[in-house]
Amino acid sequence: MSKELTEKQQKIIDFIKNYIEHNSYPPSYDEIAKYFKVKKPTIFDHLNALQKKGYIEKKTYRARTIVIQDNIKQVTDKHPQKFPKVKDDCIAIPIVGKIAAGTPLLAIENIEGNLKVDRSIFKNADSFALWVKGDSMIDAGIHDGDLVIINMQPVVEKNEIAAVLIDDEVTLKYYQANANAIRLIPANSRFKPIIIRRGTKEVRVLGKVVGLFRKF
Catalytic: 173? yes
Does 127 qualify as catalytic in the annotation?
no
In the chain, how many H helices and how many E strands? 3, 11
In a domain? residue 81: no
Q: Distance (Å, rounded) from C-alpha 50 to C-alpha 3?
A: 10
Write the pLDDT tens digit of every residue in 84-128. 444 456 778 888 876 655 566 665 667 888 888 877 777 666 788
Residues 104 and 206 grouped into a single domain = yes
Q: Are residues 39 and 124 in the same domain?
A: no
How far is Cα 94 from Cα 92, in angstroms, rounded to an integer?
Answer: 6
Listed residue (95, 198, 199) closest to 150, CA to CA = 95
Q: What is the spatial distance between Cα 132 and Cα 170, in angstroms, rounded to a whole number?
A: 10
Q: Are residues 144 and 50 in the same domain?
A: no
Least confident of 12-26, 66-80, 161-175: 66-80
**pLDDT tens digits, residue range 142-155?**
999 899 999 989 99
Q: Are residues 64 and 100 in the same domain?
A: no
The per-residue pLDDT for 216 is 73
In a domain, 73, yes or no: no
Q: What is the enclosing helix (H) or strand (E) of 203?
A: strand 203-213
- Domain membership of residue 84 (yes or no) is no
Model pLDDT for residues 49-69, shown as the tens digit of each residue: 888 888 888 765 455 667 776
Q: Which residue in 8, 136, 189, 192 is the catalytic one? A: 136
Residues 183 and 141 in one domain: yes
Whole-number Å distance between alpha carbons of 156 and 207: 7
Q: Is the pLDDT of residue 189 over 90?
A: yes
Q: In this structure, are 48 and 135 located in the same domain?
A: no
My answer on whether 127 and 193 are in the same domain is: yes
Is the CB of residue 175 less than 8 Å from the CB of residue 145? no
Catalytic-role residue among 173, 192, 208, 215: 173
DSSP string, 108-170: GGGEEEEEEEETTT---SSEEEEE--SSTTGGGT--TT-EEEEEE-S---TT-EEEEEETTEE
The CATH number for 48's domain is 1.10.10.10
Dist. CA 125–CA 9, nearest whole Å: 29
Q: With respect to residue 63, please indicate whether it lies within any of the assigned structural domains.
A: yes
Verify that 112 and 198 share a domain, yes or no: yes
Number of domains in the chain: 2
> Does residue 28 share a domain with residue 97?
no
Domain that holds residue 172: 90-213
Tell me, yes or no, whether 27 and 114 share the same domain.
no
CA distance 89 to 195: 42
